[in-house]
Amino acid sequence: METPCVKTCVIDARTRLCEGCGRTIDEIAAWSTYTSEHRRQIMAELPSRLRGPSKA
């Protein structure tokens, strides 16, 4: 199963995103239930999430 996890699991209190992979806690918890297509869609969004609005 594809996963963006980089084993740096820290949830940012302000953004509510994992600082390692950029997923929300809900996405992390449900990851194994998502279809491959849904996982790919989320993974496509992660680079911009990790950059954040001020870094884009």
pLDDT tens column, 7-30: 999 999 999 999 999 999 999 999
Q: What is the pLDDT of residue 56?
A: 44
% the chain with pLDDT above 70? 93
Summary count for the chain: helices (H), strands (E): 2, 0
The pLDDT value recorded for residue 52 is: 81
Q: 10 is in which domain, residue-wise?
A: 1-51
Express the helix, strand and coil content of the chain in percent, nearest 5 each.
45, 5, 50
Number of domains in the chain: 1
Residue 56 lies in a domain: no
Instruction: Note whether residue 41 is domain-resident.
Output: yes
Is residue 7 one of the residues assigned to a domain?
yes
Q: What is the mean pLDDT of the chain?
A: 93
35 within some domain: yes
pLDDT of amino acid 1: 85
Residue at token pair 């084993």: 7
Q: Contact 2/44 with Cβ under 8 angstroms?
A: no
- CA dist., res. 15 & res. 55, Å (int): 14
